[in-house]
Every structure is written in C-alpha cells, then in structure tokens.
Structure 1
Amino acid sequence: MSTMNISLPDSLKSFVDEQVTRRGFGTSSEYVRELIRKDQDRLHLRGLLIEGASSKLTAPAGAAYFASLRERVNRRARR
C-alpha cells in the first residue's frame, strides 16, 4: 500500500478527527479512503447516467416490463 501525506488547516483536521470518532473509523486514513471510494462510486454513476442520457431512445417501459423485472429479481433472491 502506498503512503500519501496531506496538509490540512486546523479546522479541517478537527473535522476529520471528529468524523473518525463519531462514525467509528479506526484512523483518519480509513475515513479518507472511504471518502475516496464514495467519490469513485459517484463518478462511475455519473458516467453511467451520462451514457444512458446519450443513448438512443427506446420504447417506454410499461407495467409488463416492471412486472418481469420484479420476477427476475425475486427468482434470483430465491436462489
């Protein structure tokens, strides 16, 4: 694992320390890693949304589509 050192003003350092304590992180590094993972997830979701918005239009999804989707999810859940 690589190491990265960052400098924070006292107010941000206090905030990080408070979050580590309040949210049950073992260290400030765990807290920062979680923030980075969440940002990666957010950027991935944004990319998927942009890709979907840029794709060609298809027929509207009706009640039958959502019923079949629920059935597929239920089948997988029973496995």
Structure 2
Amino acid sequence: MRTTQQLSITLPKKMADVVKTKVRSGEYASESEVIREGLRALLARDRAVESWLNSQVGPAYDALKADPGRALSADQVRARLAAEHAKAR
C-alpha cells in the first residue's frame, strides 16, 4: 500500500516562486519537500494552538464562568496595561 499520494496544486505566483527558489538554492531537493515542510510547520502550529486552548484558555474561561466577578472591564484592563508600560520605562 502506498504511503504517499500525488496531488496537483495551484499556488499564487509569489508562493510558487518561493518554492522554486528554495529548490534552486539547494535548501530542498524538490518542490514536494518544500510543501511537506510547510505542512509540517502548519500542523505544529495547529497542535500548539490546540494545546494553548486546552491548557490556558479553557481553564480561564471555566474560572470566569464560575466566578464572573473576576472579570475586568475594558477600562480596568487599559489602566493595568498603562501601569505596566509605565513601570517598564
């Protein structure tokens, strides 16, 4: 059974030029390798976002839902950011 599948894709000219340049420079052996590397990076980013959502965003949402009094107004957030910015100077 094959572990690869041939696809035909269309890219904007600038993206296609980047792919061809990467191959011409010797950084990659083929256009397929460039595309595979790009997809690996995309999948890694997706995993990182999913992990962040599960480990930080979800628990923060749950905590806020359980105790809405923890919420800050937009003005309070701006004031805190301004104070942090002033301290950093």
| TM-score computed with the length of structure 1 as normaliser | 0.60
Q: Structure 1: which 5+ residue stretches go unaligned?
A: 58-79
Deviations 1:26-72 (A, max 9, x none): 00000000000110000001000010111267xxxxxxxxxxxxxxx
| TM-score computed with the length of structure 2 as normaliser | 0.54
After superposition, the Cα gap between the structure-2 partners of 1:23 and 1:42, relative to the gap in structure 1 and judged at 3 Å, is: farther
**Higher Cα radius of gyration:** 2
Moved over 4 A (4+): none
| Backbone CA RMSD of aligned residues | 2.0
> How far did 1:23 drift?
5.9
Tell me the residue number matched to 1:50. Answer: 53
Tell me the residue number matched to 1:7. Answer: 10
Q: Structure 2: which 5+ residue stretches go unaligned?
A: 64-89
